[in-house]
Amino acid sequence: MLGNFSYKNATKLYFGDDSLKYLNDELPKYGKNVQLIYGGGSIKKNGIYDEIVKILKDNGKNIIEDAGVMPNPTIEKLRDGIKIARDNKTDLLLAVGGGSCCDYAKAVSVSVNCDEDPWDKYYIRFEEPTCDILPVGCILTMAGTGSEMNAGAVITNHEQKLKIGHVFGEEVMPRFSILNPRFTFSLPKRQMVAGIYDIFNHICEQYFSGEDDNTSDYIAEALMKSLIHSSLIAVEDPENYEARSNIMWTATWALNTLISRGKSTDWMVHMIGQAVGAYTDATHGMTLSAVSLPYYRYVMPYGLKKFKRFAEEVWNISSNGLSDEQVANEGLKAMENWMKKIGVAMNISELGATEDMIDGITEGTLILEGGYKVLTKDEIRQILKKSL
């Protein structure tokens, strides 16, 4: 049975290789001061920065530079961004980059008009914003997180060794996002495949839960099949527009709240992966790939029916003469082969994690209860040891 739910997605999308021109339609809706948020400089190298600055100037905007958003944005950087927005009376936060820039922009947006420290309020106490929220727009240069059409914002606190995501309400979703698949062509291969695995895992996190006959699961299977197909083309031919555009669109649908409607969700690979990220600062998608197989092999017996369906529907495993468990295992083997083929991290040692970090990573893992097995800390420790 499909559970009861409400659904609204507040973000307007412009998709395609001419989509940047629609920034001209959006800018007049906002005030003069635009805080231009970007990362370590990839947009300067590939020319996207110049194109955007020209459009902002043509529209008479004041450009407030906010560069240097790092992958896995930190609480210190967030506090800097809040100060920049306050000092310059920012009217629009325009993020240009991947999930890190989009997440950071959303975290700034809920904090500028709020007196309390954002870490304590949003990431420790998980409170909702009680102040005016600044509008956010995103121009995406990396497909993966789905941040362009959701209200999530993940922030890392290195001092406390915690990486935590807050999923805000629909009022925090970007007002608009511009998705040009060509902007992703300049991504290094390692970032591209990390993004692809992130997308895949977002779908898994919402698929591996519940036993009901649920439309969301059929949509999830279709998204996984499209992603697997396109990923194999993109690793061979990174400038294949068809593959890159399908990957970009799949990323958005994988985490814009649609496929979680009416069902429970897991998210434990993300919880463990984020804790690994807090210790290693490794690329988000790689922290997920490195812990996935030990996790799924461990919980598989508790959700056998769904793991069998995953094998048959997503990986075309034939059940002829095999037990349910064998079919499910074949599915995970096929997933492992695909992961190796596209080249994602297969263990946390290659991300810099060491045995002496395991207890701390275990402690830093939030336990959620929507999956097939509610893990104990000891089970998380075992999964992490298997991931080394």
Binding site for Zn ion (CB under 5 A): 198
Q: Which residues of 64-83 are buried (b: 16+ CB within 10 A; e: fewer)?
A: bebeebebbbbbebbeebbe
Distance (Å, whole) CA 178 – CA 37? 14
Number of residues lying near ligand NZQ (CB under 6 A): 35
Q: Does 165 bind ligand NZQ (CB under 6 A)?
A: yes
Give the three-state DSSP class for 61.
coil
**Residue 60 one-letter amino acid:** G
Each residue 219-238 as x (binds ligand NZQ by CB under 6 A) or -, in order, gives --------------------
Dihedrals φ, ψ of 176, to 5°?
Answer: -150, 155
180, interface contact from Zn ion, ligand NZQ, none, CB < 5-8 Å by kind? none
Residue number closest to Zn ion, CB atom: 198
Residue 152 within binding range of ligand NZQ, rule CB under 6 A: yes
Residues within window 175-204 making contact with ligand NZQ, judged by CB under 6 A: 183-184, 186-187, 191, 195, 198
Footprint on residues 269-308 left by ligand NZQ (CB under 6 A): 270, 284-285
Query: Closest CB to ligand NZQ among 104 and 310?
Result: 104
Nearest CA-CA partner of 200 in 243, 239, 177, 231: 231
Question: Can residue 19 be called a binding residue for ligand NZQ (CB under 6 A)?
Answer: no
For ligand NZQ, which stretch binds (CB under 6 A), given 5-13, 27-35, 36-44, 339-347? 36-44
- Minimum gap (Å) between residue 145 Cβ and Zn ion: 6
Q: How far is the CB of 167 from ligand NZQ (least distance, A)?
A: 7
Which sign, positive or negative, has the C-alpha torsion 246, 250, 256, 260?
positive
User: In Å, how far from its chain's centre is CA 196?
Assistant: 10
- DSSP line for 63-112: EEEE--PPSS-BHHHHHHHHHHHHHHT-SEEEEEESHHHHHHHHHHHTTT
148 binds ligand NZQ (CB under 6 A): no
Decide: 73 and 108 in contact? Cβ < 8 Å: no
Spatial distance between the Cα atoms of 276 and 346, rounded to a whole number of angstroms: 13
Smallest distance, ligand NZQ to C-beta of residue 171, A: 15
Chain residues binding ligand NZQ by CB under 6 A are: 39-43, 46, 71-72, 97-101, 103, 141-142, 144-147, 150, 152, 154, 165, 183-184, 186-187, 191, 195, 198, 255, 270, 284-285
